[in-house]
Amino acid sequence: MRRIAVTVNGQRHEVDVEARDLLVHVLRETLGLTGTNVGCDTSTCGTCTILVNGESIKSCTMLAVQADGQEITTIEGLATNGTMHPMQQAFTENHALQCGYCTSGMIMAAVSLLKDNPHPSDHEIREGLEGNLCRCTGYQNIVKAVQAVASGT
Ligand code: FES
Ligand code: FES
């Protein structure tokens, strides 16, 4: 076991992890942050997407020990004082989710996308989110939600 220190959603945690533990499992099982989902075992679905130092990553592709000293944001950390993040609000208003399983990862990836490219085209949104799979919505409403945030509507 090795002790790591991570700041998650602004709160510092020290946790003991095994060298083989994936970050997604430590977030879900040790820290109880179950908004980050596991949807595959091939690193293809994106449901596990979080921000590490502001950049989106698939937390099933990162060992927990690699997160030592890093700043992490999960879906639970996006809202401020009970007010949803604009991206969460836009997903709700644009019906960008059905079962919701992919949604937390999709939202984290979309937040990161707009940070890098505040005014993307529809094509750039689809390209930017291609690592996140949704089996329900057909993506059109997801693109609409991201555009709504980008345009401030
Ligand atoms: S759980 Fe599917 S990409 Fe991480
Ligand atoms: S809303 Fe169901 S997988 Fe995306």
Tell how far the Cα of 113 is from the centroid of ligand 2, in angstroms. Answer: 19
Split at pLDDT 50, 70, 90, the class of 96 is: very high
The β-bridge relationship of strands 49-52 and 2-8 is unpaired
pLDDT in tens, 29-79: 999 999 999 999 999 999 999 999 999 999 999 999 999 999 999 999 999
Tell whether pTM > 0.75. Answer: yes
pLDDT at 137: 86
38 close to ligand 1 (CB < 6 Angstrom): yes
What percentage of the chain reaches a pLDDT higher than 70? 100
Contact between 118 and 141 under an 8 Å Cβ cutoff? The reply is no
Question: How much distance in Å is there from the Cα of 133 to the middle of ligand 2?
Answer: 8
Determine the atom of ligand 1 nearest the C-alpha atom of 38: 1
Q: Which of 47, 46, 10, 55 is nearest to 31 (CA)?
A: 10
| pLDDT (0 to 100) of residue 26 | 98
| Beta pairing, strands 71-73 & 2-8 | parallel
Supply the mean pLDDT for the chain. Answer: 97
pLDDT tens for 106-129 read: 999 999 999 999 999 999 999 999
117-152 as b/e, with b when 16 or more CB fall inside 10 Å?
eeebeeeebeebbeebbbeebebebbbbbbbbbbee
User: Would you call 25 helix, strand, or coil by DSSP?
Assistant: helix
d(Cα 20, Cα 64) in Å, to the nearest integer? 8
Looking at the predicted structure, is the pLDDT value of residue 153 above 80? no
Assess contact for 39 and 48: CB atoms under 8 A.
Answer: yes
Q: How far is the CA of 45 from the centre of ligand 1 (A)?
A: 5
Ligand 1 atom nearest the C-alpha of 49 is 4
Q: Please indicate whether residue 58, judged by its CB atom, sits closer than 6 Å to ligand 1.
A: yes
